[in-house]
C-alpha cells in the first residue's frame, strides 16, 4: 500500500516510542535533520490508541518543526521503533495499523536504539531509562537480556529505582528500616505529610511515575545515605551483569543509553565501564537508518 506520490522525493521519519514519551525526527535523503517532535507514551502494551496517537502527534510536530505541510505525512517513509513490540501479539497489532505514512517499517525500540548507537553497524546496547534491558545484534542474530517489565523486572531502571525507594521509604516511615534521607526528600517531592498520604500518592501509579522518583535515590546517595547506596549498588550490579552477558557475544561496540545512563555509569564495575563507548546517534535516528536499510533491501 504505497501511498507515496511519484513526483516527490521522500522524507524519512524516525520514531522512538517508549513507555513515557514518543520522539520523532524528520530527515531528508541526504541525512539532514529537518525537524523533531515529541509526544506522550507510545508503548502499545499500555494502550493501542494512545500509542498510535502519540506516534502521529510526534510526527506532525516534527513536520511543523521542519516547516513542512501536515499533508506531507503521507509521503513519509517511517522507521518506527516501539517498546512492547518484542511481544509478538503487540507487534502484530501495531503492524496491522492503517498508518498515515507512505510506508512503515516496524521494529523494537531496542533495535533502533542499537542501530542508532552504532550508526547502523552491529553492536550491543544496555538501556537504562524508565525500563532496563540489554540487546545485541550481530550478523543478523539478536540477543535480548532482561526486558522483563514493571514491576516484576527492569532492575537498575528508573522505575525500578523509584519503586525500591518508595518501598523502603514506606518501611522506614513504619520503623521497619532505618531512617533514610530519602524519606523527607520523597515526602516533600510528593507533597505528603506522612506515610498514609504517601501510600495514597503512589497507589496505582504507572512505571513512569516511579521512574520520576529515581532522582530521590541519587540525591540521597550523594550524601552517602546507606539505603539509597544499597538500592543504587543493587541496580548497578545488575546493569553490570547485563553488560557482561552481552560482551560474551563479542559485539564490535557496546553502549549504555537511556535517561539514567549518565547517572549510572559511575556505579558500574570498572571492567564494564571501560568496555562502554558513547552512542553515535539517537534511537530516533536509528529508526531512520532502519527505514533506509529496509527501503534499500526492497530495491
List contacts with its own copies (CB under 8 A).
45-46, 86-89, 145-149, 151-153, 163, 166-167, 170-171, 174-176, 195-196, 199-200, 202-204, 238, 241, 245
Instruction: Assess contact for 201 and 192: CB atoms under 8 A.
Output: yes
Q: State which residue, 62 or 165, has the beta carbon closest to its own copies.
A: 165
Residue with Cβ nearer its own copies (177 or 280):
177
Pick 60 or 148: Cβ nearer its own copies: 148
Q: Which is nearer to its own copies, 42 or 289 (CB)?
A: 42
Q: How far is CA 199 from CA 192, 220, 273, in A?
A: 9, 20, 37
> Least distance from C-beta 56 to its own copies, angstroms?
23
Would you say 147 or 261 has its CB closer to its own copies?
A: 147
Q: What does the H/E/C string look like for the chain?
A: CCCCCCCCCCEEEEEEECCCCEEEEEECCCCCEEEEEEECCCCHHHCHHHHHHHHHHHHHHHHHHCCCCHHHHHHEEEEEEECCCCCHHHHHHHHCCCCCCCEEEEEEHHHHHHHHHCCCCCEEEEEECCCEEEEEEECCEEEEEECCCCCCCCCCCHHHHHHHHHHHHHHHHCCCCCCCHHHHHHHHHCCCCCHHHHHHHHCCCCHHHHHHCHHHHHHHHHCCCHHHHHHHHHHHHHHHHHHHHHHCCCCCCEEEECCCHHHHHCCCCHHHHHHCCCCCCCHHHHHHHHHHHHHHHHC
Least distance CB 122 / its own copies (angstroms): 22
| Alpha-carbon span 68 to 96, nearest angstrom | 27
Query: Least separation, in Å, of the C-beta of 151 and its own copies?
Result: 4
Shortest reach from residue 234's CB to its own copies, in Å:
12
Choose between 169 and 264: whose C-beta lies nearer to its own copies: 169
Least separation in angstroms between residue 152's CB and its own copies is 5
- Please, what is the minimum distance in Å from the beta carbon of residue 216 to its own copies? 13
Nearer to its own copies, 140 or 175 (CB): 175
CB of 10 to its own copies, least distance (A): 34
Amino acid at each position: 500500500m504505497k501511498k507515496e506520490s511519484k513526483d516527490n522525493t521522500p522524507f524519512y521519519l524516525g520514531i522512538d516510542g517508549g513507555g513515557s514519551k514518543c520522539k520523532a525526527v524528520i530527515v531528508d535523503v541526504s541525512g539532514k535533520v529537518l525537524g523533531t517532535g515529541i509526544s506522550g507514551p507510545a508503548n502499545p502494551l499500555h494502550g493501542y490508541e494512545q500509542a498510535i496517537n502519540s506516534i502521529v502527534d510526534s510526527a506532525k510536530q516534527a513536520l511543523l518543526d521542519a516547516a513542512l505541510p501536515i499533508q506531507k505525512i503521507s509521503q513519509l517513509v517511517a522507521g518506527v521503533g516501539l517498546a512492547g513490540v518484542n511481544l509478538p501479539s503487540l507487534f502484530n497489532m501495531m503492524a496491522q495499523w492503517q498508518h498515515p505514512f507512505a510506508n512503515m517499517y516496524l521494529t523494537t525500540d531496542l533495535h533502533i536504539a542499537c542501530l542508532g548507537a552504532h550508526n547502523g553497524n552491529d553492536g550491543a546496547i544496555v538501556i537504562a531509562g524508565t525500563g532496563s534491558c540489554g540487546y545485541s545484534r550481530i550478523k543478523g542474530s539478536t540477543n535480548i537480556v532482561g526486558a522483563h517489565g514493571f514491576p516484576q523486572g527492569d532492575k537498575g531502571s528508573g522505575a525500578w529505582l523509584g519503586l525500591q525507594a518508595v518501598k523502603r521509604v514506606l518501611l522506614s516511615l513504619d520503623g521497619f528500616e532505618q531512617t533514610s534521607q530519602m524519606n523527607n526528600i520523597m515526602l516533600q517531592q510528593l507533597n505528603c505529610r506522612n506515610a498514609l498520604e504517601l501510600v495514597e500518592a503512589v497507589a496505582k501509579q504507572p512505571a513512569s511515575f516511579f521512574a520520576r522518583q529515581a532522582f530521590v535515590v541519587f540525591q540521597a546517595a550523594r550524601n552517602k545515605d546507606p539505603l539509597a547506596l544499597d538500592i543504587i549498588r543493587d541496580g548497578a550490579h545488575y546493569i553490570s551483569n547485563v553488560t557482561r552477558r552481552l560482551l560474551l557475544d563479542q559485539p564490535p561496540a557496546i553502549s549504555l543509553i537511556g535517561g539514567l545512563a549518565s547517572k549510572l555509569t559511575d556505579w558500574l564495575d570498572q571492567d564494564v565501564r571501560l568496555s562502554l563507548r558513547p552512542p553515535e546517534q539517537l534511537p530516533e535516528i536509528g529508526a531512520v537508518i532502519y527505514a533506509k536499510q529496509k527501503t534499500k533491501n526492497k530495491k
